[in-house]
Amino acid sequence: MAEIREMRIAVEGTGEVSALLERPADARWMLTLAHGAGSGMNHAFMEALAEELARVQVATLRYQFPYMEERRGVPDRPKVLTATVAAAVRGAREAVPGLPLLAGGKSMGGRMSSQAAADGLLDGVRGLVFFGFPLHPPKLPGTRRAEHLSKVPAPMLFLQGTRDALADLKLLRPICKELGPRATLHVIETADHSFHVLKKSGRNDEEVLRELAATTASWAEKI
């Protein structure tokens, strides 16, 4: 069983946000896990993912962005979002000083983690994990959101579904190839942006969550 502890994280110029540290006794890695644009750290997907990661020896620090903490509907400005990511990384380092650090998150949370890394705000982070990188808005394919990735110094793991409406794999694959050995793309057949899979795949959401966690842990051990 993993220990779960409530925390408060101070974000410079903004105030404090809530966080949950979930640490298994045999943890080998620490991952700051940011939520997506439309749901907070207590969303069912975030909770289930943290549980699966704990089973594969990855501790997590889930946290709220200020707009979610304050129950506002519109996400904060990117500068505030990246400052929150940086504050979460500092909080994780202080809470579990002996574990190597990873950063990432679901959708927008992952993208803001990579932006923070590109801006030089995540010192000491060994790698970045994207649970559905939001490359573009639905039905508006483009690559502008990936332009900063070339400035990310750490290895990156992209976990993407073939039915993800926010990441056309025809666009994402060349981006990962251009990033070279820093980028690893792991594709999940028939999964959408929320990692729901079609019945014809013969799999269920729980199995996909286990794959997300196992792939993260395996990748982390190689970087």
User: Domain locations in the chain?
Assistant: 3-222
Query: Residues 76-95: what's their mean pLDDT?
Result: 97
Tell me how far apart the alpha carbons of residues 118 and 107 are, in angstroms, rounded to a whole number. Answer: 17
The answer, yes or no, to whether residue 29 has pLDDT greater than 80, is yes
Could you confirm whether domain 3-222 is CATH 3.40.50.1820? yes
Query: Residues 92-96: what's their mean pLDDT?
Result: 95
Element (H, E) at 58: strand 58-63
| Token couple for 78 | 């990117």
The answer, yes or no, to whether residue 1 has pLDDT greater than 80, is no
Query: Residues 40-64: what's their mean pLDDT?
Result: 97
Task: Say if residues 20 and 6 touch (Cβ distance below 8 Å).
Answer: yes
- Tell me the average pLDDT of the chain: 96
